[in-house]
Amino acid sequence: MQAENDSLTVMLDAPDDFAGFRQAARVLLALGAAPEVVHWRWSDELATQAEDGDLFADVAANGVTTDAPARVISPDALDRLAIAPGQPVHIRKPQLSVLRKACCHRNPGRFMLCYRWLWRLQAMPSLAGDALDADWRDIERLAHAVGREIHKMHAFVRFRPAQDEKGKPLHVAWFEPEHHIVRAASGFFMERFSNMRWAILTPGCSVLWDQECLQWGPGATAAQAPDPDAGEALWLAYYQSTFNPARLKEQAMLREMPRRYWKNLPETQLISGLVAGARSRTGHMLAAQPAAERA
């Protein structure tokens, strides 16, 4: 296989398959495959939205993207190629973490960008210390957006009590991430809610924690999430009672809780009324102050 001359497509297992990307990149760099001859594709089988049946039943593969070039190879197949040992690319753990997050971004050129930086790094090791390199700055930008989205998922997932098909308790949440972060974010929920059976449904994929291991299923729709319950009404009452208008900072609130998350958060149905009430109360208090105190 003359990778330096032939155009080829690497087929990854998932949109966030960093392990597969890393495995393939190691071989491709040893083969001398230039970034412009390598195309990156991924299976999107879990993104099929399930309308009926068990979300966590076995999923059949749905093939590859139709626009991929004919020469397709998997990371495992690349590993089986006979190649001469080359000079490995060494990067620091923080840089590896940045690459991993960048590969979870929705940008379709994320794998190409990361491989191009590794290719250039192989030829110029000093690039590892260049924080102003254009490719590296783009990678960091993608990673920052992914890290922020993971943080938002940790903060804004809301579980509702439900039951599985056997009648066992199961807490279910619906979330719509902007990037491919569900796998990267799920460890947090596994550790925090280890004694609770839960499932998180998203359009791209769904995950179930059965108190022993994580199980992955196809994407879902908002209609498959449970409706509000009495416990949610109690939470809303608590949220309303603890709202402090004196500490309201609307712009800061919108930075931390962007409006695109509001439709899936129960407490946001109260925010408009609470904000309006806070403005009114502030206006009344200012109006009640003597003119000398307001000056």
The last residue of one of the domains, among 201, 224, 247, is 224
Same domain assignment for residues 13 and 130: yes
Mean pLDDT to the nearest integer, 9-13 = 95
Domain identity same for 146 and 166: no
Per the prediction, the chain carries an average pLDDT of 79
User: Comparing 41 with 277, which gets the higher pLDDT?
Assistant: 41
pLDDT attached to residue 113? 98
Residue 128 lies in a domain: yes
Residue at 100 is within a domain: yes
**Does 13 share its domain with 120?**
yes
Please indicate, yes or no, whether residues 129 and 189 belong to a single structural domain of this protein: no
pLDDT of 244-265, one tens digit each? Answer: 555 556 566 566 667 676 566 6
Question: 147: closest CA among 94, 193, 108, 222?
Answer: 94
Q: Are 199 and 173 in contact (CB under 8 A)?
A: yes
Picking from 224, 247, 270, the residue at the C-terminal end of a domain is 224
Instruction: Return the sign of the alpha-carbon dihedral for residues 14, 15, 18, 20.
Output: positive
% residues pLDDT > 90 (the chain): 51
Q: Strand 214-218 vs strand 205-209: parallel, antiparallel, or unpaired? A: antiparallel
- pLDDT higher than 90, residue 268: no
Q: Are 219 and 234 in a shared domain?
A: no
CB atoms within 10 A of CB 67: 8
Q: Are residues 33 and 103 in the same domain?
A: yes
Judge whether residue 234 has pLDDT over 70: no
Q: Are 59 and 46 in contact (CB under 8 A)?
A: yes
For 257, the 3-state DSSP assignment is coil
Clarify whether residues 268 and 174 are in a common domain.
no
Answer yes or no: do 18 and 100 share one domain: yes
**Shared-domain flag, residues 92 and 18:** yes
Strand 205-209 to strand 198-201: parallel, antiparallel, or no bridges (unpaired)? antiparallel
Average pLDDT on 60-75 reads 57
pLDDT of residue 68: 43
How many domains, in total, are found in the chain? 3
- Quickly state the pLDDT bin for 66 (edges 50, 70, 90): very low
Residue 1: inside a domain: no
pLDDT digits (tens, 9 = 90+) for 18-41: 999 999 999 999 999 999 999 999
pLDDT band at 158 (very low <50, low <70, confident <90, very high): confident
Domain assignment present for residue 2? The answer is: no
* Cα separation values, 169 from 50, 196, 232, 268, Å: 21, 9, 16, 26
CA pair distance 284, 279, nearest whole angstrom: 9
Residue 142 pLDDT grade (very low, low, confident, very high; cuts 50, 70, 90): very high
Average of pLDDT values for 174-182?
A: 95
Residue 69: predicted pLDDT: 44
43/96 same-domain check: yes
Judge if 16 and 118 occupy the same domain: yes
pLDDT bin (cut points 50, 70, 90) of residue 11 is: very high
Residue 268 belongs to domain spanning:
230-294
Amino acid, res. 59: V
Q: Which pLDDT tens digit goes with each residue over 183-202? A: 999 999 999 999 999 999 99
| Residue 3 belongs to a domain | no
Instruction: Identify whether residues 140 and 164 lie together within a single domain.
Output: no
**Distance, CA of 141 to CA of 148 (rounded, Å):** 11
Question: Which of 83-97, 194-208, 254-268, 271-285 has the lowest average pLDDT?
Answer: 271-285
User: For residue 255, is it within any domain?
Assistant: yes
The dihedral through the CA atoms of 186, 190, 193, 199 has a sign that is positive
Query: Of 224, 248, 267, which marks where a domain is finished?
Result: 224
pLDDT of residue 5: 54
The H or E element containing residue 170 is: strand 169-174
